[in-house]
A and B are shown apart, each in its own frame.
Chain A
């Protein structure tokens, strides 16, 4: 077949479709969003009736995918790295249950935090759950790994973790497709106890999983994705993981004399690493993310083996790998370059002109400043940009849903007024349970659900709560007279201010829902309507 120009994310999506996928389950998150979007837009996926609707959060996604695996079908779960925290309970226990149909968990890590709040490395989760991990070095390898991963999962009986980084997910390259496979027929687990993790069953499953580790290491040692190329200069052995391999080869385009072990499948092929360590004076580990392999080596190798990498400063301890910092690790002199003139200013992202969140923050700022000690806890989404000038409206952004629960804790601690600002999609993702805590204790908080009827930051995906926000709040027990809706527009500025003031002064749980569609999705919808 001819080459197709695909993002790393799109290559993974196409491979999943080609490999007999029956359902993708995901919550949007940069840099993973395009996988599910590609499947949603795919005519082939539609024809084959592949499930692709967005889920409420990563935990519901992971569990639904496990259910699909239970009935023998092939399922894919996609998320950004911090989504692994949300679904960790389901993920780690999916390692315990194992699978029936092939199950692939895709985690897209974001070293350098281009669009994230940390740079946690998902490979630790894979090791924690004791499941095999794949880490492609390029788009074609991403396709090939995904294409084989369902069968690998079915053969080993375990879910597999596919870990990519931003630079692979969001980079395009020519990719060659393979033949399409049929979807699995429905079938049930052979062992009726497999998915019942009562302690007695779980102990058996745990021992089986531990026993399987040896075969996983053998799989890694014989994997085509892991390759050892010997070299004459044994002063250094290089272990290059995932995309780190590309930066290595970029620096040695004329050929490399050091022995190189390319790692793209885990658990680590221990014997190969020990053999390389025995023949080399030192080892250099090149891995994007945290020092996952480097830390393991200290336990695998004799203390006399010198290990270089992110921990000893040969590579930077944080931030993504680049061809430049990998070159520096080999002592290559950087090229002389032009410098950025001092006249150049930073251009940070900002809320769009005309965005409803702007009107919310303008009104909120005026009212809260009437109080001596106020704090505004916020959340993950476009409205996090309310931290930037000219607004400077918010005092926290931690994890999905934390605005409501942090506001509650702060109110418990004596703060007044204690305000939360959360978006509609983040509210249904992880804010609803926190609201129930507030209601059960009649906490003195004001919760602003700034509803733009979409998941805006990631590009305008469907939001699970659209049209249901008031019903959810009332159902959880918000008092009807303290659940108020307003359209955030200039002309309603005074109305919004009065509403905010009144609800701050109410000693209990208040919810204000400023609702106006995201101007980006509204423009898209107008365009679509004009076409019809």
Chain B
């Protein structure tokens, strides 16, 4: 089993929390993993990404080679497109459709969405909207994680649920419950699209 994941979005959206939940789930289940992320200057509202690699064999490179990512998980639709050269031709994009427009020359939303529609395999929906409806706007990242589960290879729904308990446990039961609800809502959206 081997899965390569690109997580992306805009600094501050919470992609690193998604990464740590999946990573915790993988490690708990005896898998090898590497997760490279960006700190520092780019976190100030710039584009951010994390390379997450999971395998049942030792992993060498911290970075995913071009054309080898199984899935691009993005909290922002334009950011999903930025990492296309890393996506395998058989890979899937799971992305938020809600844009984060903090630059003056942000393109027309329709143009972005039509590019994503052209992709052979994608899951796209308004993650922010679902998060607000079922939990809290802050849980958008976990809704997106839920929608990504069908594309995470050997990482099952149960494993991710446990990952959420492990990562958010110290913040209290209410936070865990909220995130589990967000996760379920995201998964339901992806299941409905099948």
Contact = CB atoms under 8 A, between A and B. Distances in A.
Interface stretch (B80-88, B129-137, B146-154, B177-185): B80-88
A349 B65 contact: no
Interface size class of A (residues with CB under 8 A): 35 or more
Interface residues of B, number: 53
A249 B60 CA distance: 6
A378 to B, nearest CB: 15
B62 A246 contact: yes
B103 interface: yes
B34 interface: yes
Contacts of B38: 114, 170
B104 interface: yes
A340 B85 contact: yes
Interface of A is mostly: loop
A399 interface: no
B111 to A, nearest CB: 5
Interface string A323-343: 110010000001111111101
Contacts of A172: 20, 23, 33-37
Given A343-B112, A347-B103, A349-B46, A337 B66 contact: yes
B34 A173 contact: yes
B45 interface: yes
Contacts of B107: 343-345
Nearest to B36: A171
A347 B34 contact: no
Contacts of B27: 3, 5, 174
B81 A343 contact: yes
Given A172-B35, A246-B62, A336-B89, A382 B44 contact: yes
Most chain B CB within 10 A, of A3, A33, A324, is at A324
Interface in A114-133: 114-115
B105 interface: yes
Contacts of B81: 340-341, 343-344
Given A30-B39, A340-B84, A253 B44 contact: no
A414 interface: no
A341 B117 CA distance: 12
Nearest to A173: B34
B67 interface: yes
Given A174-B32, A349-B41, A350-B46, 11 more contacts: A3-B27, A114-B40, A115-B39, A172-B36, A173-B34, A247-B63, A249-B60, A337-B89, A349-B11, A390-B104, A457-B41
13 contacts: A115-B41, A171-B51, A172-B36, A173-B33, A173-B34, A245-B60, A246-B61, A247-B61, A338-B89, A343-B107, A349-B41, A350-B46, A389-B104
